[in-house]
């Protein structure tokens, strides 16, 4: 039994129900037990009362793509440090990619991660499991055992399966277990030695480009195989306008097809690379401004379902190299929400659309009870000051790595408090 918590004087914003109304929420034993809109809530004896002072009370964010160094590369990120970074950014649950050492391709490793995360992480860690052994794209793992151990979805993380026949077999197998199949769409053969978006800017910098077909060719394949096999398919992250066209058509025929977008591709474009700034080297690469604007429209129209951080900690040794040699990846757990709120403040997107893509839609895709403010739902909640001004400073980041693509960026909007299971795990300190 835990002490009841009452959050009062809040602006309750819940995309799952369409709520945007002043009110209060009562939490008992880690779940929401009462919601009052413009009315009083009975307060149990000894309850902790939190005055929201008109701030937005929203479901905690669910990030569908987070890389963690543990096990194997704890110097980049541990479950503990990732959890601290997550709750500081309002992320109460995150899907951990299987790209670790060893790879998460065995039920014993899934079990270890769940137990380790429960002991170490302030946020809920949702382990994914590898589609293929060792992420090699050659042999399918034991999906049933991995699901039974607690894996929430299947993915080869930063790797993309190149074999059409193996991919079809894997999708059919995953459909039998009704597991989400999250795939990074990337054609290695078409990519060659490309390192950034193909176009004039790449030519000016003297760097080899990655064409849009590197993404659209495997995406078209995946969508056709997903329809044929009936799998719950999720395109991990898209970056081009042409991908939206493919997705729109596929979704008109297949209700099980969904797609996500990285906050990096949503906020930044190829010009941000400037003079070979390697912290902006990500996968998929930052595309043209036209592609970026198309992605925003894709969110507005519902073609894109989720926004994620693509949090990928890398140490300076592998990032501070010549651009072509530097590793892909940028951290993003702590800046995900604030960066997404840029579109609310610019009137490109409304608050419900932005929050929906980071709360209830990921929850629906993964089959979670969280992501909503409703009676009986887990009390994973955040209080947001939408107008709080701040600047991203590398020295203030909680993550063990510092490879942020938003260093020095001025933000408006910040998480003031994060609750996981009704327990306050983060409060902002000025």
Question: Which residues are catalytically annotated?
Answer: 310
- Cα-based distances in Å from 276 to 121, 202, 204, 263, 265: 35, 10, 11, 20, 17
Q: For the chain, report the end-to-end CA distance as a whole number of angstroms.
A: 32
Closest CA to 154 of 296, 365, 321: 365
CA distance 202 to 196: 7
């Amino acid at each position: 039994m835990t002490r009841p918590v009452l959050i009062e004087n809040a602006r309750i914003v819940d995309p799952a129900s369409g709520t945007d109304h002043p009110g209060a929420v009562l939490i008992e034993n880690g779940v929401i037990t009462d919601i009052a809109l413009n009315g009083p809530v009975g307060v149990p004896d000894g309850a902790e009362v939190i005055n929201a002072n008109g701030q937005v009370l929203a479901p905690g964010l669910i990030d569908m793509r987070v890389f963690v160094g543990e096990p194997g590369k704890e110097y980049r990120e541990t479950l503990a440090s990732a959890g601290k970074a997550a709750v500081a950014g309002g992320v109460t649950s995150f899907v951990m990619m299987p790209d670790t050492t060893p790879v998460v391709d065995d039920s014993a490793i899934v079990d270890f991660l769940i137990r380790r995360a429960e002991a170490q992480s302030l946020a809920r860690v949702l382990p994914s499991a590898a589609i293929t052994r060792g992420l090699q794209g050659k042999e399918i793992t034991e999906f049933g055992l991995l699901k039974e151990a607690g894996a929430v979805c299947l993915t080869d993380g930063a790797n993309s399966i190149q074999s059409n026949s193996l991919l079809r077999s894997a999708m059919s197998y995953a459909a039998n277990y009704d597991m989400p199949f999250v795939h990074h769409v990337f054609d290695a053969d078409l990519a060659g030695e490309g390192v950034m978006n193909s176009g004039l800017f790449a030519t000016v910098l003297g760097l080899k480009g990655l064409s849009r077909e590197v993404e659209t060719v495997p995406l078209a394949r995946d969508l056709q195989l997903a329809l044929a096999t009936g799998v719950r398919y999720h395109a991990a992250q898209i970056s081009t306008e042409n991908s939206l066209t493919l997705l729109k058509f596929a979704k008109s025929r297949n209700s099980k097809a969904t797609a996500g977008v990285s906050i990096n591709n949503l906020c930044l474009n190829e010009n941000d690379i400037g003079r070979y700034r390697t912290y902006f080297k990500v996968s998929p690469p930052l595309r043209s401004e036209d592609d970026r604007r198309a992605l925003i429209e894709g969110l507005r129209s519902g073609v894109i379902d989720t926004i994620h951080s693509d949090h990928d900690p890398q140490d300076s040794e592998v990032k501070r190299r010549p651009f072509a040699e530097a590793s892909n990846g940028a951290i993003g757990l702590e800046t995900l929400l604030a960066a997404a709120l840029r579109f609310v403040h610019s009137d490109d997107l409304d608050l419900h659309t932005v929050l929906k893509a980071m709360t209830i839609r990921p929850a629906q895709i993964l089959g979670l009870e969280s992501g909503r403010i409703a009676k009986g739902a887990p009390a994973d909640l955040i209080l947001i000051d939408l107008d709080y001004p701040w600047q991203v400073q590398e020295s203030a980041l909680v993550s063990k790595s510092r490879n942020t693509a938003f260093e020095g960026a001025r933000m408006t909007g910040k998480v003031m408090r994060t609750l996981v299971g009704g327990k306050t795990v983060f409060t902002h300190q000025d």
